[in-house]
C-alpha cells in the first residue's frame, strides 16, 4: 500500500465513523505526511490530526483507524502500533505489506460500523416522514418567539439621533443639495436577532413524543442562523449539521440512520455537563437555552443542579419544555424537574409549538424584544413551584 492508498483508506475509515473528510483534506494529509516522513510516528499522527480531524473530541479515532487500516493491509501489525522514532522512517506509516487496496467500494457502503459502549443500549429508529402541514403553525410561532427573544442588533439599521454618523449615507444624501452637507445621517442597528441552543432529550421516557421531538428539532434549527441543536439520552450528540440540509426526507433519513441514542436511559446532568465542558464557551447572555425533557433522570441530581446553575450563570434565558406540562394536573415532581425548576425562566408543554394561544400564555402577548434585564413570563415557573 503506498502513501496515497493509505490516506484514502484512512479517509474512508474516518467517514465510516461519521467524520466529514473531503478530498481536499486527503490531499493535505498526503502532503503533510510526506513532510514529516522519516520522523516519529507521533509526528505522523499529528499530521493526520492537523489535516483530517477538525474536531478535538474525535482525536481518539486516529490511532483506531490507523491500526484498523494497518491490520486490513494484512501487514505485520507491530509497526502500526509502533513506538516512535527509531528508524521508523520511510513509513512507520507503511504498516502493511499490502499489495493492493483491498478496500473495494462496495465495502465502504455496505460495511456497517457498530459502535461499542458498555454503558448504554444504542437504538436507531425508523422515523415516520415529517408532516409538512403540521409545521405551519410551528414555523409561525418560532418566528414570533425569535422576535420576542431578540437581543442582538441585526444588519438593518434605522435613523436615530443617538446613533453613529454614517458617512456613506450622509454623502449620498448631500447629492440632493448639490454636495452641500445639510444634515448628518445617524443610525443604529435594529435588534432582530437571537441565538438559541436546543438540548433535546430523546431517551426512552420521551418515546411517545418521538414525532413531536423530530418536528421540534426541525423547527428549532430554523430559529435563526445562530442556532445549535443537541440531543441527549445517556450522552450528548450535536445534530446541527444533520438539520442543516433543506430536504425534510433527508433529515428524517439521517436522524433515523445516524442517531443511535433513541430510547436509551437518561442522564440529564451528565449530558448538560458534557455540553458545558465541550460547548459551554459559546453560551453567554445573548443565548437562549431551550431544554426539552420530562425530567426523568437516572443520573446524579447534584450534577444536574451544578450544571443548571452554571448554565443559569451564562445563558440569557432558559426555557424548559416538558411534554407533560400540558396535562391539567401536572406537577413538576420528577427529580430532574424539581432540581431544575429554580433555574428556568419558562416552563411549558409541547403545545407551545403547536398552539398559538399556548405560546402567548408562556411568552406574553407583546412581541417586542425584551429589554436588558427584563425577564420572560417568570410567573409561569413560580406557578409550578412546589
Partner 1 sequence: MAEDVVFEKLNIDVLIEKLEEHLYVADRSLATALYLAIKMNKPLLIEGEPGCGKTEIAKVLAEILETDLIRLQCYEGLDASDAIYEWNYPKQLLYIRMLENRGDVKGIESEIFSEKFLLKRPLLAAVLHDGKAPPVLLIDEIDRADEEFEGFLLEFLAEFQVTIPEIGTIKCKKQPLVILTSNRTREIGDGLKRRCLYYYQSYPSREKELKILRLKVKGLDPAVMEKIVDFVNLVRQRPDISKKPGISESLDWANALAKLSAKDFNRDVVRATLSCIVKTQEDLVRLDIDSMLSMLGGKSS
**Which residues 6+ apart lie within 8 Å of 97 measured at CB?**
73, 74, 75, 76
Q: How far is the CB of 281 from partner 1 (least distance, A)?
A: 5
Pairing of strands 152-165, 186-193: antiparallel
Query: Which residue number, 58 or 144, has a Cβ lying nearer to partner 1?
Result: 58
Is residue 222 part of the contact set for partner 1 (CB under 8 A)?
A: no
Candidates 37, 144, 226, 254; binder of partner 1 (CB under 8 A) is 226
**CA-to-CA separations, 111 to 7, 105, 243, in angstroms, rounded:** 19, 10, 25
Query: Which residue number, 283 or 348, has a Cβ lying nearer to partner 1?
Result: 283
For 333, other C-beta atoms within 10 Å of its C-beta total 10
Is residue 285 part of the contact set for partner 1 (CB under 8 A)?
A: no
Candidates 99, 104, 133, 281; binder of partner 1 (CB under 8 A) is 281
Query: Which residue number, 310 or 367, has a Cβ lying nearer to partner 1?
Result: 310
The site map against partner 1 for 233-252 (x = CB under 8 A) is: -----x-xx-----------
Residues comprising the chain, all counted: 386
Q: What is the 3-state secondary structure (H, E, C) of 179-195?
A: CCCCCCCEEEEEEEECE
Q: How far is the CB of 308 from partner 1 (least distance, A)?
A: 11
Decide: 120 and 233 in contact? Cβ < 8 Å. yes
Candidates 245, 282, 333, 385; binder of partner 1 (CB under 8 A) is 282
Q: How far is the CB of 47 from partner 1 (least distance, A)?
A: 6
Is residue 53 part of the contact set for partner 1 (CB under 8 A)?
A: yes
Q: What is the DSSP string of 27-69?
A: HHHHHHHHHHTTS-HHHHHHHHHHHH---GGGTTHHHHHHHHH
Candidates 49, 144, 252, 324; binder of partner 1 (CB under 8 A) is 49
- Binding part of the chain for partner 1, among 85-93, 133-141, 167-175, 333-341 by CB under 8 A, reads 167-175
Query: Which residue number, 131 or 302, has a Cβ lying nearer to partner 1?
Result: 302
Query: Which residue number, 57 or 208, has a Cβ lying nearer to partner 1?
Result: 57
Query: Which residue number, 26 or 203, has a Cβ lying nearer to partner 1?
Result: 26
Query: Which residue number, 218 or 287, has a Cβ lying nearer to partner 1?
Result: 287
Query: Which residue number, 25 or 345, has a Cβ lying nearer to partner 1?
Result: 25
Decide: 288 and 195 in contact? Cβ < 8 Å. yes
- Binding part of the chain for partner 1, among 104-112, 200-208, 222-230, 365-373 by CB under 8 A, reads 222-230
Which 10-39 positions form the footprint of partner 1 (CB under 8 A)? 20, 22, 24-25, 28, 31-32, 35-36, 39
**CA-to-CA separations, 153 to 157, 160, 366, in angstroms, rounded:** 9, 14, 19
For 311, other C-beta atoms within 10 Å of its C-beta total 24
Candidates 117, 160, 257, 313; binder of partner 1 (CB under 8 A) is 313
Q: How far is the CB of 144 from partner 1 (least distance, A)?
A: 23
- Positive/negative CA dihedral, 165, 166, 168, 172: negative
**Strands of 173-239, DSSP E:** 186-193, 195-201, 227-232, 236-238
Give CA–CA dist 294/340, Å, rounded: 11
Q: How far is the CB of 155 from partner 1 (least distance, A)?
A: 8
Candidates 168, 175, 182, 386; binder of partner 1 (CB under 8 A) is 168
Give CA–CA dist 237/199, Å, rounded: 9
Candidates 18, 97, 129, 153; binder of partner 1 (CB under 8 A) is 153
Candidates 16, 147, 314, 324; binder of partner 1 (CB under 8 A) is 314
**Which residues 6+ apart lie within 8 Å of 371 measured at CB?**
none
Give CA–CA dist 273/318, Å, rounded: 15
Decide: 261 and 231 in contact? Cβ < 8 Å. yes
Residue ranges that bind partner 1, judged by CB under 8 A: 20, 22, 24-25, 28, 31-32, 35-36, 39, 42-43, 46-47, 49-51, 53-54, 56, 59, 152-153, 167-168, 170-171, 179, 181, 189, 225-226, 228, 238, 240-241, 273, 276-277, 279-282, 284, 303, 306-307, 309-310, 313-314
Amino acid at each position: 500500500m503506498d502513501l496515497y492508498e493509505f490516506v484514502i483508506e484512512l479517509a474512508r475509515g474516518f467517514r465510516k465513523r461519521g467524520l466529514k473528510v473531503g478530498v481536499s483534506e486527503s490531499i493535505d494529509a498526503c502532503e503533510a505526511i510526506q513532510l514529516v516522513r522519516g520522523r516519529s510516528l507521533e509526528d505522523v499522527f499529528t499530521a493526520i490530526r492537523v489535516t483530517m480531524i477538525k474536531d478535538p473530541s474525535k482525536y481518539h479515532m486516529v490511532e483506531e483507524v490507523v491500526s484498523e487500516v494497518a491490520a486490513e493491509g494484512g501487514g505485520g501489525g507491530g509497526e502500526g502500533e509502533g513506538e516512535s522514532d527509531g528508524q521508523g522512517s520511510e513509513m512507520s506509516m507503511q504498516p502493511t505489506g499490502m499489495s493492493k487496496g483491498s478496500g473495494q467500494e462496495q465495502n465502504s457502503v455496505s460495511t456497517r460500523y457498530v459502535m461499542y459502549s458498555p454503558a448504554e443500549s444504542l437504538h436507531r429508529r425508523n422515523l415516520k416522514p415529517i408532516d409538512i402541514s403540521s409545521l405551519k403553525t410551528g414555523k409561525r410561532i418560532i418566528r414570533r418567539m425569535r422576535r420576542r427573544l431578540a437581543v442582538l442588533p441585526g444588519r438593518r439599521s434605522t435613523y436615530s439621533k443617538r446613533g453613529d454618523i454614517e458617512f456613506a449615507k450622509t454623502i449620498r444624501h448631500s447629492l440632493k443639495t448639490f454636495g452641500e452637507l445639510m444634515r448628518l445621517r445617524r443610525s443604529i442597528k435594529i435588534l432582530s436577532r437571537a441565538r438559541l441552543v436546543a438540548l433535546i432529550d430523546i431517551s426512552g421516557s420521551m418515546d411517545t413524543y418521538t414525532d413531536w421531538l423530530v418536528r421540534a428539532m426541525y423547527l428549532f434549527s430554523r430559529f435563526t442562523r445562530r442556532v445549535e441543536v443537541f440531543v441527549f439520552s445517556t450522552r450528548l450528540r450535536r445534530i446541527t449539521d444533520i438539520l442543516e440540509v433543506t430536504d425534510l426526507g433527508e433529515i428524517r433519513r439521517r436522524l433515523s440512520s445516524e442517531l443511535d441514542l433513541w430510547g436509551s436511559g437518561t442522564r440529564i446532568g451528565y449530558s448538560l455537563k458534557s455540553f458545558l465542558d465541550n460547548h459551554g464557551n459559546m453560551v453567554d447572555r445573548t443565548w437562549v437555552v431551550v431544554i426539552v425533557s420530562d425530567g426523568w433522570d437516572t443520573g446524579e441530581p447534584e450534577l444536574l443542579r451544578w450544571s443548571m446553575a452554571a448554565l443559569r450563570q451564562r445563558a440569557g434565558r432558559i426555557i424548559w419544555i416538558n411534554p407533560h406540562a400540558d396535562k391539567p394536573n401536572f406537577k413538576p415532581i420528577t427529580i430532574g424537574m424539581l432540581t431544575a425548576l429554580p433555574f428556568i425562566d419558562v416552563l411549558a408543554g409541547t403545545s407551545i409549538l403547536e398552539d398559538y394561544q399556548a405560546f402567548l400564555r408562556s411568552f406574553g402577548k407583546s412581541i417586542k424584544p425584551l429589554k436588558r434585564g427584563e425577564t420572560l413570563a417568570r410567573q409561569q415557573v413560580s406557578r409550578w413551584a412546589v
